[in-house]
Amino acid sequence: MGNAVIRLVLADAGLSLVAAVAEPGAKSRGSDAGELAGVARCGLPVTVLVAEAIAAKPKVAIDFTTPAASVLNVAALASAGIPCVVGTTGFSDAQRARLRGASSKVAVLLAPNMSAGANTLFELVQRAVELLGPGYDCEIVETHHSGKKDAPSGTALRLAEVVQASRGGRSTPVQMHSLRMGDVVGEHRVSFAGTGEWIELTHRALSRDAFARGALRAARFVAGARSGFYTMRDAMKA
């Protein structure tokens, strides 16, 4: 995801890349960020120190890391007054609370999926539950590449939350199934089955650029937003 974000930033005349941070011990340390992302050399070396990124005075930071790293990164960035976009998934309730705490200082946007299509799926699922009523079973199937660590995906968990909330908090379970196969970027299928009919809503990500474009859309939003805790829906409706 970092490479996808870098590629799109470097291709956008309205944006500037001022820092690129890799995990401590990464072999990419010192490499040119542009070359690492598969495009032309940009003259910006990759660092493993968030403090160096903060020293570059970015207007906004985008974090796709791990839950533990995201919590620390956002805390440091918020203390420096830098708004944050977080696309990391797999947070515990306690970690999510720490991110929300940082939003008292700066704008923090957290989204399990940043693509416009997936966030449209959330809206469609909500509407489907409202229109279908209580007589329909719902199951969610998500498929990702074999290297994805969290299961169910953050997007699947969010879809289940949407279904439950749209049902008025009724405890009817939403079954989730996770497949980890090959190099699948991401697919989410939400199925509703009632007597004599079956409805299915599906989102397929064909490239990580879909998530990166959403992250840049979110970055533009939080760069001008007041401190607070935001979702991708806020950015898309702005």
Which residues, at least 6 apart from 196, have a Cβ–Cβ distance to it below 8 Å? none
Count the neighbouring beta carbons within 10 Å of the beta carbon of residue 158.
Answer: 23
Beta carbons within 8 Å of 181's beta carbon, 6+ residues apart = 143, 144, 145, 146
- The active-site residue, picked from 148, 149, 177, 203, is 148
144, 149, 177, 203: the active-site residue: 144
CA 93 – CA 99 distance, rounded (Å): 10
Catalytic residue flag (residue 149) = no
Cβ-contact 73, 50 below 8 angstroms: yes
Under 8 Å between Cβ of 156 and 142? yes
CA distances from 82 to 4, 102, 152 (A): 21, 11, 31
Q: Please report, in angstroms and rounded to a whole number, the separation of the first and last CA atoms in the chain.
A: 24
Is 144 annotated in the active site? yes
3-state SS, residue 26: coil
- C-alpha 204/C-alpha 142 separation (Å) is 10
- 40 forms beta bridges with none
**CA distances from residue 42 to 17, 46, 47, 173, 219 in whole angstroms, order as listed:** 9, 11, 14, 50, 21
Residues forming the active site = 144, 148
